[in-house]
Structure 1
Amino acid sequence: MISRVYRATLFALYQLCIVTGIVAMPLAIAARQAGITLPIHRLIDTVETAYDATQP
């Protein structure tokens, strides 16, 4: 039961990270033009790896 809750929580977190990345896209484009890179891709990769590890 706990693994179901954990998996559902990770899935929700993964979806939230993707939405955050999409919403932050204009900010990321502006930051990149200024020479700054936002590490949103690392956050998404980390959460995706954790979620994939819970798959049976």
Structure 2
Amino acid sequence: MMTEFHRGIAFLLYQTTLLLGILAMPFALVAHRLGLTLTVRPLIESAERTYERADGRADGS
């Protein structure tokens, strides 16, 4: 049960970071025009790795 709970939380975290990345797009475009860079990619990649590890545990891998 704890594994399913962990996988669910990891999935929620991953989906939330994707949503934040999508919502940040207009700000990223404006920042890019000003010569700034918003680094959202590492946050999304970290959440994706966490979800993949949690999903692998649920499969018995």
Structure 1: which 5+ residue stretches go unaligned? Answer: none
Q: What is the number of residues matched between the two proteins?
A: 56
Of all paired residues, the percent bearing the same amino acid is 36
Residues of 2 paired with 1:38 and 1:5: CA distance?
A: 32
Q: Tell me the CA shift for residue 38 of structure 1.
A: 1.1
* Structure-2-length-normalised TM-score: 0.83
- After TM superposition, the runs of 4+ consecutive aligned structure 1 residues lying more than 6 A away are none
Higher Rg of the two aligned structures:
2
Root-mean-square deviation (CA), in Å? 0.9
Q: In structure 2, list runs of 5 or more residues that go unmatched.
A: none
TM-score normalised by structure 1 residue count: 0.89
**AA at the equivalent of 1:33:** R
